[in-house]
Amino acid sequence: EAILAVHMKKIPLAPDVDPRTIARGTPGFSGADLANLVNEAALLAARKDHPEVAMADIEEAIERVASGLERRSRLMSPEERRRVAYHEVGHAIVGEALPGGSRVVKISIVPRGMAALGYTMKLPTEDRYLMTEGELHAQLASLLGGRVAERMVFGEVSTGAGNDLQQATELAQAMVVDYGMSGAIGPVAFGHERRTLLAGSEARAMREHGDRVADVVDAEVKRIVEEAEEAARGVLMARRERLEAIAATLLEKEFLDG
């Protein structure tokens, strides 16, 4: 029944498309992987001017997607795979262990896309209306769990945690300047003002006030991120054996569901 959208154009599935055959050809694919696959098949059909997405398009898409994934995974050395496994399990354990943390849907060390060597898929939080302060701290800690696990196991972090740090910093910044969750800044929201300031046009007029506040904001953001890292470390130190066991299983199976 699925209808696929390509550049806003909807292409129906041909009657010969058999879900069982697709299932057999896509072991380990998540819902998102399947959505990708279907999209790829729709693109192939569109390119050939087919009015429908046929089973042949889907089979070609499975081959493309699967071989692309294999090629990328071969680029990772065994040591890198180990590091990615611990990193992802670090995220997962911290997210599950802290109240308000992210529930884990799936962990994978099969590389996807250019940036992600592995990933931990969490239950979406966008459909939540509200997040409490405690939940945000737990989210921060789970964002840092990957990095903390790497440091615990390998003695140092890697560039793989760069995106996590960026997300954590942005979240901590929002807590300080948008949500009034920093004691030092107080219940004042000036995220908008601060962003305008950073944008530069009226920067000079606001600088005197801005510089002082910016220093406090930076210090608060740093404190909040460091505390979250500490919380993540506490969780993982107390669960070191589980970290080892789950990482070993992940290395063997390449993906684990929640």
* Distant-in-sequence, close-in-space partners of 229: CB < 8 Å, separation ≥ 6: 141, 144, 147, 148
Burial class (CB in 10 A: 0-12, 13-18, 19+), 79: exposed
Query: Among the options 52, 59, 79, 88, which is catalytic?
Result: 88
Instruction: Name which of 52 and 96 has its Cβ closer to Zn ion.
Output: 96
CB of 161 to Zn ion, least distance (A): 6
Of 50-58, 149-157, 158-166, 180-188, the segment contacting Zn ion by CB under 5 A is 158-166
Catalytic residue check, 254: no
Contacts of residue 163, Cβ cutoff 8 Å, sequence gap at least 6: 115
Binds Zn ion (CB under 5 A): choice among 150, 164, 220, 229? 164
111 binds Zn ion (CB under 5 A): no
Alpha-carbon separation of residue 122 from 88, 119, 199 (angstroms): 11, 9, 33
- CB of 176 closer than 8 Å to CB of 224: yes
Beta strand 104-108 with 119-122: parallel, antiparallel or unpaired? antiparallel
For residues 82 and 150, is the Cβ–Cβ distance under 8 A?
no
CB of 246 to Zn ion, least distance (A): 15
Closest CA to 29 of 68, 79, 75: 68
Q: Least distance in Å: CB of 14 to Zn ion?
A: 40
CB 254 within 8 A of CB 108: yes
Count of chain residues binding Zn ion (CB under 5 A):
2
Residue 148 vs 221, nearer CB to Zn ion: 148
Q: Name which of 111 and 146 has its Cβ closer to Zn ion.
A: 146
Closest CB to Zn ion among 42 and 140? 140
Encoded one letter per residue, x for contact with Zn ion by CB under 5 A and - for no contact, window 118-157 reads ----------------------------x-----------
Residues that bind Zn ion (CB under 5 A): 146, 164
Residues with active-site annotation: 88
